[in-house]
Structure 1
Amino acid sequence: MGHVYRQLDAPTRAFIEQQPMFFVATAPTADGRVNVSPKGYADTFTVLDDTTVAYLDLDGSGIETVAHVRENGRITLMFCSFDRRAIIVRLYGTGRVVTLHDPEFPALLARFGPHPGVRSIIVVDCDRIADSCGWGVPRMSLIEERSTLDRWAARQDVQETRSYRARHNRASIDGLPGLSAGESDPVSQHS
């Protein structure tokens, strides 16, 4: 039924790169809420090597993933097939947050499509890669990607972005640190 892989083989890599969305799960170490976030935009995810992946962390109303990853590193990405092939792939690992102040940020950013609301890049070193059946996942058709998030972020000037991130991205819902004041500047460079 399910298989565990030492690394991302070619078919698994092709499968995850073809999915129009994926889910990110994180949790704080102590008492706190588990977070699961859907991620879209096909050009915001990339495979870096056989055991490392990354995705763009775009503006949003919360900062749970960044806060949890910074606190303990634990992260799981889940990719579901909504078409004819019934499969789920989970990437378990340790994440790290790369911000525009980190030396590796420009090279990583170049691997993604241009998006105006980039807060950071989440890099995941996978220590378990596993698939399972997706027999309970419904078959659905993608109509189109929503452009709403990009359009909203593009309308914000630098001060509006800083202000929004100060109100919504400084701490998680459980009070863990999110983005610092110095990390609230919008990213001006794009791939």
Structure 2
Amino acid sequence: MKLLPELTPELTAWALQQPVFFVASAPLHGRHINVSPKGLPSSTFSVLSPGLVAYLDRTGSGCETIAHLYERGNGRLTVMFMSVGPQPRILRLFCRGRVVEWDAPGFDGWLGRMGQERPDAVRSVIVCEVFQVSTSCGYGVPRVKREVYAGAGLEPKGGKAAAEDGTETTRGEKGGWKGGWRWEEENSVFEDRPTLPERAAWREKAGKTLAYQVEVNLDSLDGLPGLRVARREAGQWLWVTDAKAYMKRILAEKEAIIFGFLLAVLLYGVLSSSTRLLGVLETDRLVAWKTQLQALPSRAVRA
């Protein structure tokens, strides 16, 4: 494993070429640790600087990541990329994340920085401050069989291939063909699944996106408050719900509460003992001082 303080240009280019990335988060107290796969890194994930990345978060059936990032004192997030080609690699970005919801004043500004247009049913931009980067071998990750993608287009004897539209294409640097033929890369075996954008477009057209968010994005599996725009639409008082979640978190720290109570009892005992000891010493000093005062006149008379 190799640790880096930030992303390098080479790692950035490699990450954006991958077909999928994963996001992991967890509550400070709770049973669940969430891992979510995210597709289309080249159109949803942006590297804004070596230490700052962001991705578009479309409306889904859960809101674990959002709830974990909103939790007070939390904000932990790990983004992972992996290679499925002949050159193995696992890339992890350890981050502090925050949520910019679609109705927030700064949302369009973040879209502009990312160079993205507002997609249908987007609910937030997840902004991630990278504090450490790790790369590892990835030898345990399976790879796509070369014969699945290497034979996508066969070069004729003339040394050039003819595309379907009649244009001539030439052999690429890595052994594939551009133009009408598939580029010889392992990622060419993947295609985008159309279900999510189609459903998102349907909800937007029908005006049902917010209603769906209210239905499925109010809280996490561990009961943490979720998407704020959905909570407001549902009639929740955000500060009340947040306060309840905070108290639940405090009460969940039973060992800390017990330790704090025992420490308070110990300190009280030490202070009480110290006070009594000081009182005894002060009494002894007072008696000695009075005795000395009483002895002074007698000495003066004898003199």
The two structures have a TM-score, normalised by structure 2, of: 0.58
**Could you report, residue by residue, the CA deviation over 1:130-179 in whole angstroms, capped at 9, with x for unpaired residues?**
10011111113433011110000100146411111111001111111111
Alignment size in residue pairs: 184
Give 4+ residue runs of structure 1 displaced > 6 Å after superposition: none
- CA gap of 1:167–1:134, structure 2 versus 1, over 3 A, is same
Q: State whether residues 43 and 113 of structure 1, in contact with CA within 8 Å, keep that contact through their aligned partners in structure 2.
A: no
Aligned pair partner of 1:117 in 110, 118, 121:
121
- CA gap of 1:105–1:183, structure 2 versus 1, over 3 A, is farther
**Could you report, residue by residue, the CA deviation over 1:58-83 in whole angstroms, capped at 9, with x for unpaired residues?**
11110000000111100000000111
RMSD of aligned Cα (Å): 1.8
Partner of 2:261: none
More helix by share: 2
Q: State whether residues 100 and 183 of structure 1, in contact with CA within 8 Å, keep that contact through their aligned partners in structure 2.
A: no
What pairs with 1:1-191 in structure 2 (closer than 5 Å)?
Answer: 2-41=1-40, 42-71=42-71, 72-110=74-112, 111-112=115-116, 114-140=118-144, 141=186, 142-156=189-203, 157=205, 159-181=207-229
Q: Which has the higher contact order (CA 8 A, sep 6+)?
A: 1
Letter in 1 for 2:48: L
Mapped to 2, the partners of 1:159 and 1:183 lie a distance apart of 18
The two structures have a TM-score, normalised by structure 1, of: 0.90
Find the residue that maps to 1:29 and give its secondary structure.
coil
Q: State whether residues 214 and 231 of structure 2, in contact with CA within 8 Å, keep that contact through their aligned partners in structure 1.
A: no
Q: State whether residues 19 and 190 of structure 2, in contact with CA within 8 Å, keep that contact through their aligned partners in structure 1.
A: no
Find the residue that maps to 1:36 and give its secondary structure.
strand
Q: State whether residues 99 and 183 of structure 1, in contact with CA within 8 Å, keep that contact through their aligned partners in structure 2.
A: no
Unpaired stretches in structure 1, ≥5 consecutive residues: 186-191
Mapped to 1, the partners of 2:140 and 2:207 lie a distance apart of 45
Per-residue deviation, 1:33: 0.5
Find the residue that maps to 1:108 and give its secondary structure.
helix
Q: State whether residues 217 and 230 of structure 2, in contact with CA within 8 Å, keep that contact through their aligned partners in structure 1.
A: no
Max Rg structure: 2
Mapped to 1, the partners of 2:117 and 2:19 lie a distance apart of 14
Q: Percent of pairs identical after alignment?
A: 43
Mapped to 2, the partners of 1:46 and 1:184 lie a distance apart of 29
Partner of 1:189: none
Range with greater deviation from structure 2 (166-175 or 106-115): 106-115
Q: State whether residues 45 and 112 of structure 1, in contact with CA within 8 Å, keep that contact through their aligned partners in structure 2.
A: no
Range with greater deviation from structure 2 (49-58 or 139-148): 139-148
Q: State whether residues 218 and 230 of structure 2, in contact with CA within 8 Å, keep that contact through their aligned partners in structure 1.
A: no
- CA gap of 1:184–1:24, structure 2 versus 1, over 3 A, is farther
